[in-house]
Amino acid sequence: MNAPTLFGLCAAVLVGLGLYGLIVHPQPLRKVLSFNLIGSGVFLVCAVIARRGAAAGVGGDPVPQALLITAIVVAFAASALAVALMLRQCDETGSNSLSSDPGPAPAKPPADGEA
Protein backbone atom coordinates (compact mmCIF):
# COMPACT_ATOMS: atom_id res chain seq x y z
CA MET A 1 0.00 0.00 0.00
CA ASN A 2 1.51 3.37 -0.95
CA ALA A 3 2.00 6.35 1.33
CA PRO A 4 -0.94 8.52 0.17
CA THR A 5 -3.38 5.66 0.71
CA LEU A 6 -2.00 5.05 4.22
CA PHE A 7 -2.41 8.70 5.11
CA GLY A 8 -5.90 8.62 3.57
CA LEU A 9 -6.92 5.76 5.87
CA CYS A 10 -5.37 7.63 8.81
CA ALA A 11 -7.47 10.66 7.83
CA ALA A 12 -10.64 8.55 7.88
CA VAL A 13 -9.87 7.38 11.43
CA LEU A 14 -9.13 10.98 12.52
CA VAL A 15 -12.52 12.15 11.26
CA GLY A 16 -14.16 9.26 13.12
CA LEU A 17 -12.34 10.04 16.38
CA GLY A 18 -13.20 13.72 16.10
CA LEU A 19 -16.85 12.97 15.38
CA TYR A 20 -17.07 10.71 18.43
CA GLY A 21 -15.51 13.40 20.62
CA LEU A 22 -17.81 16.05 19.22
CA ILE A 23 -20.89 14.01 20.08
CA VAL A 24 -19.98 12.75 23.55
CA HIS A 25 -18.09 15.64 25.17
CA PRO A 26 -20.37 18.04 27.00
CA GLN A 27 -17.76 20.84 27.32
CA PRO A 28 -17.71 23.25 24.39
CA LEU A 29 -13.91 23.45 24.49
CA ARG A 30 -13.68 19.70 23.99
CA LYS A 31 -16.12 20.05 21.11
CA VAL A 32 -13.84 22.66 19.52
CA LEU A 33 -10.86 20.33 19.98
CA SER A 34 -12.83 17.53 18.32
CA PHE A 35 -13.88 19.89 15.54
CA ASN A 36 -10.21 20.61 14.91
CA LEU A 37 -9.49 16.87 14.77
CA ILE A 38 -12.24 16.39 12.19
CA GLY A 39 -10.84 19.36 10.33
CA SER A 40 -7.33 17.95 10.25
CA GLY A 41 -8.70 14.63 8.97
CA VAL A 42 -10.61 16.41 6.20
CA PHE A 43 -7.53 18.44 5.31
CA LEU A 44 -5.44 15.28 5.22
CA VAL A 45 -7.89 13.74 2.73
CA CYS A 46 -7.37 16.82 0.57
CA ALA A 47 -3.58 16.57 0.86
CA VAL A 48 -3.80 12.92 -0.20
CA ILE A 49 -5.86 13.93 -3.21
CA ALA A 50 -3.29 16.61 -4.04
CA ARG A 51 -0.43 14.11 -3.73
CA ARG A 52 -2.17 11.62 -5.99
CA GLY A 53 -2.48 14.37 -8.59
CA ALA A 54 1.30 14.89 -8.78
CA ALA A 55 2.14 15.65 -12.39
CA ALA A 56 3.97 18.09 -14.63
CA GLY A 57 7.05 18.03 -12.43
CA VAL A 58 5.40 19.14 -9.19
CA GLY A 59 5.02 16.89 -6.16
CA GLY A 60 1.31 17.51 -5.81
CA ASP A 61 -1.64 19.13 -7.56
CA PRO A 62 -1.29 22.81 -6.53
CA VAL A 63 -5.04 23.53 -6.71
CA PRO A 64 -6.12 21.37 -3.73
CA GLN A 65 -3.00 22.50 -1.85
CA ALA A 66 -4.04 26.11 -2.29
CA LEU A 67 -7.59 25.26 -1.16
CA LEU A 68 -6.07 23.67 1.90
CA ILE A 69 -4.25 26.85 2.93
CA THR A 70 -7.53 28.76 2.70
CA ALA A 71 -9.37 26.10 4.70
CA ILE A 72 -6.77 26.01 7.51
CA VAL A 73 -6.95 29.77 7.95
CA VAL A 74 -10.76 29.72 7.99
CA ALA A 75 -10.77 26.92 10.59
CA PHE A 76 -8.57 29.03 12.86
CA ALA A 77 -11.01 31.93 12.67
CA ALA A 78 -13.85 29.53 13.52
CA SER A 79 -12.01 28.19 16.58
CA ALA A 80 -11.24 31.74 17.71
CA LEU A 81 -14.92 32.72 17.50
CA ALA A 82 -15.99 29.61 19.41
CA VAL A 83 -13.43 30.26 22.15
CA ALA A 84 -14.48 33.90 22.45
CA LEU A 85 -18.11 32.79 22.82
CA MET A 86 -17.38 30.28 25.56
CA LEU A 87 -15.14 32.65 27.52
CA ARG A 88 -17.88 35.29 27.40
CA GLN A 89 -20.45 32.74 28.53
CA CYS A 90 -18.16 31.74 31.37
CA ASP A 91 -17.73 35.41 32.37
CA GLU A 92 -21.48 35.96 32.37
CA THR A 93 -22.66 32.82 34.15
CA GLY A 94 -19.61 31.22 35.69
CA SER A 95 -20.49 28.05 33.81
CA ASN A 96 -19.47 26.63 30.52
CA SER A 97 -21.96 24.24 29.04
CA LEU A 98 -24.23 23.66 26.09
CA SER A 99 -27.08 21.99 27.97
CA SER A 100 -30.33 23.87 28.25
CA ASP A 101 -30.48 23.93 32.04
CA PRO A 102 -29.10 27.15 33.41
CA GLY A 103 -25.78 26.61 35.12
CA PRO A 104 -25.14 27.49 38.76
CA ALA A 105 -25.76 31.13 39.56
CA PRO A 106 -22.74 33.35 39.06
CA ALA A 107 -20.76 33.86 42.22
CA LYS A 108 -19.66 37.32 41.23
CA PRO A 109 -18.57 38.98 38.04
CA PRO A 110 -14.85 38.45 37.48
CA ALA A 111 -12.67 41.35 38.48
CA ASP A 112 -11.36 43.48 35.66
CA GLY A 113 -7.93 42.71 34.39
CA GLU A 114 -7.69 39.62 36.53
CA ALA A 115 -4.62 37.66 35.53
Partner 1 sequence: MTTPAGLLLVLAVLLPFTGVLLGLVLGGRHAQRVAWVTILLGIGIVLAITRVLLNSGASLVYLLGGWAPPLGVALRADGLSVCMMLVVALVVGAVGVYANGDFGTPAGQSEARAPLAFWLLLLAVWGSLNLVFVSGDIFTLYVALELLTFAGVPLVALDGRAETLQAALRYLVYALLGSMFYLLGTFLLYGAYGTLDIALLAARVGSQPVTWMAAALMTAGLLAKTALFPLHLWLPPAHAGAPAAASALLSALVIKGAWFLVVRLWVDVFAGIVTLPAAQLLAALGASAIIVGNIVALRQARLKLLIAYSTVAQIGYLFLMFPLVQALNAMRLDTAAAVTGGVLQAISHATAKAAMFMAAGLIYSTLGHDRMADLRGAGRALPMTITAFALAGASLIGLPPSGGFLAKWLLLSAAIATAQWWWVLVMLVGGLLTSAYVFMVVVRAMAPAAPGWSPKKQVPGYQQAAVLGLALCSFLLGLAALLPVDMAQIGRTVAPLVGSP
Partner 2 sequence: MSDALHLALIALLLALAFWTVVARETFAAVAGFVSYGLLLTLAWVALSAVDVALTEAAIGAGLTGALLIGAASRLRKTEAAARTEWPGRATRVLAAIVASAVAAAIAACVLLLPDPAPTLAPEVAQNLASTGVGNPITAVLMSFRAMDTMLEAIVLLFGLIAIWSLASDRYWGGRPGLAPVYEPNGILAYLARVLPPIGIVVGIYILWVGADYPGGKFQGGTVLAAMWLLLMMSGLHDAPAVSRRWVRLVLIGGPAVFILVGVLGVFVANAFLAYPAGFAKPLIIVIEVALLPSLAVTLTLLLIGPPQRSESPP
Handedness of CA 74, 79, 83, 85 (dihedral sign): positive
CA-to-CA distance for 86 and 68, rounded, in angstroms? 27
Report, in Å, the least distance between residue 25 CB and partner 2: 8
CA-to-CA distance for 77 and 54, rounded, in angstroms? 30
Q: Would you count residue 54 as binding partner 2 (CB under 8 A)?
A: yes
Q: Would you count residue 64 as binding partner 1 (CB under 8 A)?
A: yes
Question: Which residues in this chain contact partner 1 in the complex, by CB under 8 A?
Answer: 15, 22, 28, 31, 35, 38-39, 42, 45-46, 48-49, 52-53, 63-64, 67, 70-71, 74, 77-78, 81-82, 85-86, 88-89, 92-93, 97-98, 100, 102
